[in-house]
Amino acid sequence: MHNMTGYIPTLEQADELHQRIAPSQAAYDLIHGHCTVVSIITRQLVQQQNALFEGVTTGAVIGGVKPERRLDEELAVVGAMLHDIGTYRVLLQDGSDGEKLTFDGPRYILHGLLGYEYLLEQGVDEQVAQFARNHTGVG
């Protein structure tokens, strides 16, 4: 069983975590915007999987594999909102001086681990921080 070592952020707190680390408005707009889109898709996927688990048949639920247990929708959505928070730490240019926002290509693969470390530093629980660490395929 997991021991709580930190807090599970609300969506408002997730936004504050983005604002705190973002070096510029351009970086915030891009990265937070991407995470928002991913969180919306995540909510839809979790709702579909939970409908399969509960045996609810609707026109919206087509295919899929019934999960072993009900999925935690809010945890998944806040994890999605924070999954790419480490990308702020791999920017080459942050767009603040009108230059194009660019990422440091060779360091980009580190964004999952950097996000994980940032979230833990901010007191976020491991259950959420692992979304950042694990999504890059190197966590």
The confidence score (pLDDT) of residue 59 equals: 59
Flag residues of the chain having pLDDT under 50: 1, 139
Model confidence, pTM: 0.89
117 vs 126: CA distance, rounded Å: 10
Write the pLDDT tens digit of every residue in 106-130: 999 999 999 999 999 999 999 999 9
Alpha-carbon distances of 94 from 81, 118, 125, 127, 132, rounded to whole Å: 20, 18, 28, 29, 20
22 vs 72: CA distance, rounded Å: 28
**Both tokens assigned to 86:** 């480490």
The confidence score (pLDDT) of residue 67 equals: 81
